[in-house]
């Protein structure tokens, strides 16, 4: 039995799966909730026939699922760009890199990148408290999670202000976030004030860098 199968079961039960549970596993994610994390981790190829062991996995997953989404209070150490920051969290000797889940902000060298970073810095000032809900890690070893700096979802604020995109590359878009982004587009807020802004994933592809 591979731990990756536990991650898929977590998806089927409506939870967010931690890709660290499935490192080395070869699987094809059949649920939309985990497609984004799987794509970020480079996990591919799963035999659906393995789902015949589902009853066994139910018992195993029961001990795993409570750890999949953990909320903790941290403090902001640094904001690198519009979707990445470093936090000081209890029990951690070093600051941890955090990637805001489900959004993608312009790269710093990209048009709008500095404005996006500065907006997030104002929203989440250094030394300020932040509630971090952890869902896993990406291939760059960054923590994936939702961030609330005391004013609601940081991801929603970034989208509402026109400083980020809903991360749609190989992802199933979140309908609520898509609605927020659409409202910013209609109002021509932030990056949407310019005609045809280039999505960050396309900018990275053209410049051959990761995100």
Catalytic residues: 99, 107, 142
Q: What are phi and psi of 98, to 5 degrees?
A: -125, 130
Contacts of 200 (CB under 8 A, 6+ apart): 104, 105, 106, 107, 110, 165, 211
Tokens of 84: 């990445």
Backbone Cα Rg of the chain: 18
| Rounded distance between C-alpha atoms, residue 129 and residue 69, angstroms | 19
Contacts of 98 (CB under 8 A, 6+ apart): 84, 85, 86, 87, 132, 142, 143, 144, 145, 147
The H or E element that residue 104 is part of is: strand 103-104
Q: Answer whether 98's CB lies under 8 Å from 132's CB.
A: yes
Q: Answer whether 116's CB lies under 8 Å from 50's CB.
A: no
């Amino acid at each position: 039995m591979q731990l990756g199968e536990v991650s898929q079961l977590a998806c089927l039960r409506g939870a967010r799966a931690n890709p660290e549970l499935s490192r080395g596993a070869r699987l094809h994610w059949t649920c939309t909730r985990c497609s984004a994390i799987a794509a970020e981790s480079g996990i591919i190829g799963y035999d659906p026939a393995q789902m015949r062991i589902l009853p066994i996995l139910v018992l195993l997953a029961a001990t795993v699922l409570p750890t999949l989404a953990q909320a903790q209070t941290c403090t902001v150490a640094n904001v690198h760009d519009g979707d990445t920051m470093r936090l000081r969290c209890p029990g951690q000797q070093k600051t941890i890199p955090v990637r805001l889940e489900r959004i993608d902000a312009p790269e710093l060298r990209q048009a709008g990148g500095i404005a996006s970073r500065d907006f997030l810095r104002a929203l989440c000032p250094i030394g300020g408290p932040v509630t971090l809900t952890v869902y896993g890690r990406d291939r760059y070893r960054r923590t994936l999670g939702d961030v609330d700096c005391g004013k609601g979802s940081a991801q929603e604020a970034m989208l509402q202000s026109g400083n980020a995109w809903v991360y749609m590359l190989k992802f199933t878009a979140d309908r609520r976030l898509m609605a927020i982004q659409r409202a910013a587009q209609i109002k021509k807020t932030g990056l949407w004030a310019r005609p045809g802004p280039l999505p960050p994933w396309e900018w990275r592809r053209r410049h051959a860098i990761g995100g």
